[in-house]
């Protein structure tokens, strides 16, 4: 794969060189990828050798986070502009800014970056692959296949570096792209920003959960790839044996109605809370005794790193980049199947064994601080920018 940026000399802010970098991102959601982009931008803004700007295709928390970080910003609303209109407005924003690198974050932004680089004569294009394409059926499957084909062609022909968030994803991308231009940069979090001022009892109380109850929860987009049906079936295995356990799902998405219907069919209406989107997700996490991740695939989920930082024990299916972070039985628990009974067994083990829960929680926090901070991620991304300009 591409040369490991971590093998370079440590870089410190303040180099004499000036690298112009413009990030292009949608910002229509506030989920794991958007949180990661906001965190990365905030830390990249701390390097004086970077002249950082951003084009955000929607107004919201991401654009506000970029503005708060002091980043030059253009907000171009995609619900009010066609793709050609977005292109011309973005081109106008880039004119005169002497941008060396366009850094995009999703397929539409990847295509936009390729056209902009050609028209504005920007030397280099970088993209971050936050996750792999999610499977669909019928018409949506055909549409996805077309988009994916175009996106791969853009990656091969008009992209100089591809950042992958996990080694597992890097191996998958290398089946279609030149391995020498793929760089693995795991997501990073800002530990100082991951906190809740609530006690565990206060956090549960805010959710209407009695303080003596245990909570198995999850958080993320309510989409089929997240397999929250497995989460609910896991709850149905635990609930009869553990009447004190409550189950929490935070997030919104297209599967919301189906999941609520499934919870009702499993007689879990009184045991499962559907919270919808939450801006206070750290207060919600504070109420969890276990975070359960039941997805069919993940890149490197931010909620995983956030829970580990807060000392919330994690039970997760061994998918995507998660086994690169969790060492089974040491800083979390991995489940190597999609069987809800297996997930339920491991969740019950964590709930029951106080010493085990304390030990994996402590080691989880340590691992994140040593390997998965935003400063580490930003430093590696900066090295990629530097390496591109050195090649030139």
Q: 272-276 and 72-75: which strand pairing?
A: unpaired
> Side-chain half-sphere of 346: how many Cα atoms within 13 Å?
25
- Tell whether 21 and 170 lie within a shared domain: yes
Token pair of 335, please?
């489940």
- Tell whether 26 and 155 lie within a shared domain: yes
- Tell whether 111 and 181 lie within a shared domain: yes
- Tell whether 240 and 134 lie within a shared domain: no
Count of structural domains, the chain: 2
Partners of 226 in beta bridges:
none
The more confidently predicted of residues 279 and 392 is 279
Token pair of 291, please?
């975070």
Cα-based distances in Å from 151 to 169, 276, 311: 16, 31, 38
pLDDT above 70 covers what percent of the chain? 92
Q: Is the confidence at residue 21, as pLDDT, over 90?
A: yes
- Tell whether 163 and 205 lie within a shared domain: no
Task: Residue 312: give the domain boundaries.
Answer: 191-371
Domain CATH number, residue 86: 3.40.50.2000
The more confidently predicted of residues 183 and 150 is 183
- Tell whether 98 and 172 lie within a shared domain: yes
Q: What is the full DSSP assignment across 305-339?
A: HHHHHTT--EEEES-TTHHHH--BTTTBEEE-S--
User: Mean pLDDT lowest for which of 11-20, 81-90, 280-289, 335-344?
Assistant: 11-20
- Tell whether 381 and 367 lie within a shared domain: no
- Tell whether 155 and 84 lie within a shared domain: yes
> What pLDDT, in 10s, does the model give residues 129-148?
987 766 656 666 676 667 67
- Tell whether 172 and 42 lie within a shared domain: yes
Q: How far apart are CA 51 and CA 359, in angstroms?
A: 43
pLDDT band at 107 (very low <50, low <70, confident <90, very high): confident
- Tell whether 152 and 203 lie within a shared domain: no
The whole-model pTM stands at: 0.85
- Tell whether 331 and 204 lie within a shared domain: yes
Cα-based distances in Å from 222 to 4, 30, 227, 259: 35, 13, 8, 8
- Tell whether 377 and 271 lie within a shared domain: no
């Amino acid at each position: 794969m591409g040369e490991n940026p971590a093998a370079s000399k440590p870089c410190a802010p303040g180099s004499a060189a000036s690298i112009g970098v413009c990030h292009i991102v949608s910002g229509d959601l506030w989920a794991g990828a958007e949180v990661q982009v906001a965190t990365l931008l905030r830390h990249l803004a701390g390097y004086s050798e970077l002249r950082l700007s951003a084009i955000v295709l929607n107004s919201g928390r991401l654009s506000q986070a970029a503005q708060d970080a002091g980043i030059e910003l253009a907000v171009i609303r995609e619900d009010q502009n066609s793709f050609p209109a977005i292109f011309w407005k973005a081109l106008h924003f880039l004119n005169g800014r002497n941008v060396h690198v366009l850094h995009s974050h999703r397929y539409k932004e990847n295509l936009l970056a390729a056209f902009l680089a050609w028209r504005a004569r920007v030397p280099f294009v970088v993209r971050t692959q936050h996750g792999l394409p999610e499977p669909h059926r019928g018409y949506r499957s055909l549409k996805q296949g077309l988009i994916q084909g175009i996106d791969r062609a853009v990656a091969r022909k008009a992209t100089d570096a591809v950042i992958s968030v996990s080694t597992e994803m890097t191996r998958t991308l290398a089946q279609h792209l030149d391995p020498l231009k793929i760089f693995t940069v795991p997501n990073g979090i800002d530990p100082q920003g991951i906190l809740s001022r609530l006690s565990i009892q206060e956090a549960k109380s805010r959710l209407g959960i009695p303080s003596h109850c245990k909570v198995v929860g999850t958080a993320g987009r309510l989409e089929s790839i997240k397999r929250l049906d497995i989460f609910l079936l896991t709850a149905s295995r635990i609930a009869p044996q553990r009447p004190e356990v409550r189950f929490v799902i935070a997030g919104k998405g297209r599967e919301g109605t189906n999941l609520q219907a499934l919870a009702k069919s499993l007689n879990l209406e009184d045991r499962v809370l559907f919270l919808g989107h939450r801006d206070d997700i750290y207060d919600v996490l504070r109420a969890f005794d276990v975070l359960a991740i039941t997805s069919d695939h993940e890149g490197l989920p931010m909620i995983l790193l956030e829970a580990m930082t807060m000392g919330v024990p994690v039970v997760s299916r061994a998918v995507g980049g998660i086994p690169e972070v969790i060492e089974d039985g040491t800083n979390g628990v991995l489940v190597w199947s999609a069987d809800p009974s297996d997930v339920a067994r491991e969740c019950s083990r964590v709930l029951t064994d106080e010493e085990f829960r304390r030990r994996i929680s402590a080691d989880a926090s340590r691992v994140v601080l040593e390997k998965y901070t935003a400063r580490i991620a930003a430093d590696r991304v900066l090295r990629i920018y530097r390496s591109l300009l050195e090649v030139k």
